[in-house]
Amino acid sequence: MNYMNFALRWQQCPLPLVAILRGVTPHEAQGVAETLLECGFTYLEVPLNSPQPLESIAIMAKTIGSKGFVGAGTVLTEHQVHQVAEAGGQLIISPNMEPSVIRAAYELGLISMPGIATPSEAFTALRTGASALKLFPAELVTPTIAKAMSVVLPAETVCLPVGGINPDSEQMRSYLNSGARGFGLGGGLYQSGISLATLRERAMAYRHAWQQANQK
């Protein structure tokens, strides 16, 4: 799915936050997916360096059904793209900008979110078929840099800062004012082994921060 088509889909997302679930296990997958869905999260990422990630993706995809999108993070090779697709995943998210991975995802009709940190990487990713751009790490791609890139990127481009994003409406607002259209949330949202009650509390804190950041 190219960036123009994805932008239309993303506009319909009530809570444009990607939950990064590094370390989640198949045993936890259903409960985690159900909890996040109840909190409004519809984009769930299981990094491939988690325990048995493909099994967790399959469980979450079945749990979420047509209510959202599930896929993998830390996708580095074409082979992994095909593995994720076979498990029922729809998202291919990477820390880097690897054209072969983007191309494989595009050819399978999946949502591709490669990591970029420079304008050159951004334009190459879009030209290759990326659906959205993961601004990573966000500690490096500051709001000032994100704004500079948004000026030259196609207006439809969905840019998502990832890395060090806290449930802080002011931090979020600074990125939104710089052209971001959502965020990827990692350790501040989920850590391996946390209880569903804690996950729910954190998810609602991020949801509240997002709502506050969008107030005029």
CB neighbourhood size of 122 (10 A)? 23
Is 134 an active-site residue? yes
Q: Say yes or no: domain 3-214 is CATH 3.20.20.70.
A: yes
- Sequential DSSP letters for 157-198: --EEEBSS--S-HHHHHHHHTTT---EEE-TTT--TT--HHH
Measured between alpha carbons, how far is residue 58 from residues 23, 54, 64, 72, 170 in Å? 15, 6, 10, 11, 36
CB neighbourhood size of 166 (10 A)? 15
CB neighbourhood size of 201 (10 A)? 12
The confidence score (pLDDT) of residue 215 equals 85
pTM of the model: 0.97
Confidence class for position 216, pLDDT limits 50, 70, 90: low
Supply φ then ψ for residue 133, to 5 degrees: -115, 130
Q: Please state, in angstroms and rounded to a whole number, the distance separating the CA atoms of residues 59 and 7.
A: 27
- E-strand ranges in 65-151 read 69-73, 91-93, 111-113, 115-116, 133-135
Confidence class for position 31, pLDDT limits 50, 70, 90: very high
Can you say whether the dihedral through the CA atoms of 48, 196, 36, 189 is positive or negative?
negative
Q: What is the dihedral of CA 210, 134, 41, 29, to 10 degrees?
A: -140
Q: What percent of the chain has pLDDT over 70?
A: 100
Per-chain mean pLDDT for the chain: 97
Choose, from 38, 55, 134, 170, the residue flagged as catalytic: 134
The single residue listed with the structure tokens 């749990």 is 63
Supply φ then ψ for residue 15, to 5 degrees: -135, 90
pLDDT digits (tens, 9 = 90+) for 135-171: 999 999 999 999 999 999 999 999 999 999 999 999 9
Is 45 an active-site residue? yes
Choose, from 45, 98, 107, 201, the residue flagged as catalytic: 45
pLDDT digits (tens, 9 = 90+) for 45-83: 999 999 999 999 999 999 999 999 999 999 999 999 999
Largest Cα span, the chain: 45
pLDDT digits (tens, 9 = 90+) for 85-132: 999 999 999 999 999 999 999 999 999 999 999 999 999 999 999 999
